[in-house]
Amino acid sequence: MVIAAPSYRFLRKWALSMSTAMEFCSECNNLLYPLENVEKRVLMNSCRTCGYLEEAKNPCVYVRRVETERDELARINTDVISDPTMPRTNVHPCPACGSMDAVYFQGRLKSAEGKMSPFYVCRNRNCLHRWT
């Protein structure tokens, strides 16, 4: 019998649906720790206090979710508002809060090859909105 390897899409969906919630001992209410049963090749949960042992309900021990920023404006460091050498403008109102005080600089969007465009950062410390 040949078993086909699961597709990447299936594995990714499966991994994202798994959650690693803490589990507690039903005998003494202490934290259960993952333990491998090498002979049976099964993940077990064990209590270090009373020795309680049960088969893990979830085979996932650790989940690391990596999410990347797709928005290019999110990569702009808002600390530029504190830089005294940055040029300031009071003619371009912030679309978020309406403040007329902003810092601007020239930059290149990855989506627009070769074209330079101005980037603005609102100087209102409660806003810090970024726009082009």
Amino acid letter for position 50? C
Measured in degrees and rounded to the nearest 5, phi and psi for residue 8 equal -60, -40
Q: Which residues contact 83 (CB under 8 A, 6 or more apart)?
A: 103
How far, in Å, CA of 132 to CA of 115, rounded?
13
Other CB atoms closer than 10 Å to residue 123's CB: what's the count? 21
Residue 60 assigned ligand-binding role: no
Specify the 3-state DSSP secondary structure of 93: coil
91: which DSSP letter?
S
50 in a labelled binding site: yes
129 neighbors 94 (Cβ within 8 angstroms): yes
Residues annotated within a binding site: 25, 28, 47, 50, 94, 97, 122, 127
Residues annotated within a binding site for Zn(2+): 25, 28, 47, 50, 94, 97, 122, 127
